[in-house]
């Protein structure tokens, strides 16, 4: 049950929503960011997985068989690419940073799909490790907007860190992954998002 609540699909809308509120997006912009991200990252992939399951292409929404993951992951890459212009279009003051983070999420999804051709990794662990990097980046390098009613603080950063072992435990507990696959997922999420942010945006203080 935990795996269904803490699943990779929820990470992009959560990350982009936190980014929007942290950087002072107005109400209309927040509605656009959250609704568009939810549609592209959760609803559309969910429909795709449902159709693939109905067609017998996958056995479950978790897709534990590595070879069965390739088609839905490439679909996820396409959705992630389309999200870059769509989510940022009406993001207001947060537009540039939304574009940056959405691009990093696309790179991570593409790299994960390519890696899956040769090796299975825990996408749950990778996603929540990536979320931790994004939350930490917001806390360290992106000043909250003046008067923001909510922003990323040390407490939220710690919570995002603690989600990693919780998710990793759930993947091991349900025998969805081996310890090596979970560790690979964690390292992948940490490295891919960190490197993407470092290359694509002004992450480190000048």
- What confidence tier does 2 reach under pLDDT thresholds 50, 70, 90? low
What CA–CA distance (Å, rounded) separates 41 from 9? 6
pLDDT tens by residue, 44-59:
999 998 988 888 877 7
pLDDT tens by residue, 171-186:
999 888 899 999 999 9
The whole-number pLDDT of residue 206 equals 37
C-beta pairs of 5-9 under 8 Å, 24+ apart in sequence = 6/124, 6/128, 6/163, 6/166, 6/167, 6/170, 7/124, 7/127, 8/123, 8/124, 8/126, 8/127, 9/41, 9/42, 9/45, 9/46
The whole-number pLDDT of residue 90 equals 94
Tell me what the mean pLDDT of segment 152-171 comes to. Answer: 96
The whole-number pLDDT of residue 106 equals 98
- What confidence tier does 1 reach under pLDDT thresholds 50, 70, 90? low
How many contiguous H segments (helices) and E segments (strands) does the chain have?
A: 9, 0
The whole-number pLDDT of residue 3 equals 56
If one compares 117 and 160, the residue with the highest pLDDT of the two is 160
Tell me what the mean pLDDT of segment 20-30 comes to. Answer: 95
How much is the pTM? 0.92
Tell me what the mean pLDDT of segment 39-48 comes to. Answer: 95
Residue 77 scores a pLDDT above 60: yes
If one compares 86 and 116, the residue with the highest pLDDT of the two is 86
Tell me what the mean pLDDT of segment 89-105 comes to. Answer: 94
The whole-number pLDDT of residue 19 equals 96
Tell me what the mean pLDDT of segment 55-80 comes to. Answer: 82
Residue 205 scores a pLDDT above 60: no
């Amino acid at each position: 049950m935990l795996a269904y609540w803490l699943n990779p699909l929820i990470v992009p809308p959560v990350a982009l929503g936190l980014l929007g509120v942290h950087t002072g997006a107005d109400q209309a912009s927040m509605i656009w960011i959250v609704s568009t991200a939810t549609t592209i990252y959760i609803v559309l992939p969910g429909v795709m997985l449902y159709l693939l399951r109905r067609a017998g292409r996958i056995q479950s929404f978790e897709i534990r068989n590595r070879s069965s993951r390739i088609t839905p992951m490439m679909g996820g890459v396409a959705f992630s690419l389309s999200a870059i212009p769509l989510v940022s279009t009406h993001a207001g003051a947060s537009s540039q940073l939304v574009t940056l983070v959405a691009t990093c999420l696309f790179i991570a999804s593409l790299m994960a799909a390519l890696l899956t051709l040769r090796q299975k990794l825990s996408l749950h662990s990778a996603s929540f490790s990536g979320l931790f990097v994004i939350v930490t980046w917001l806390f360290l390098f992106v000043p909250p907007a003046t008067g923001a009613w909510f922003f990323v603080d040390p407490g939220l950063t710690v919570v995002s860190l603690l989600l990693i072992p919780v998710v990793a435990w759930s993947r091991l507990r349900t025998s969805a992954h081996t310890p090596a696959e979970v560790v690979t997922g964690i390292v992948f999420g940490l490295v891919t998002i960190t490197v993407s942010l470092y290359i694509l945006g002004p992450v480190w203080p000048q």
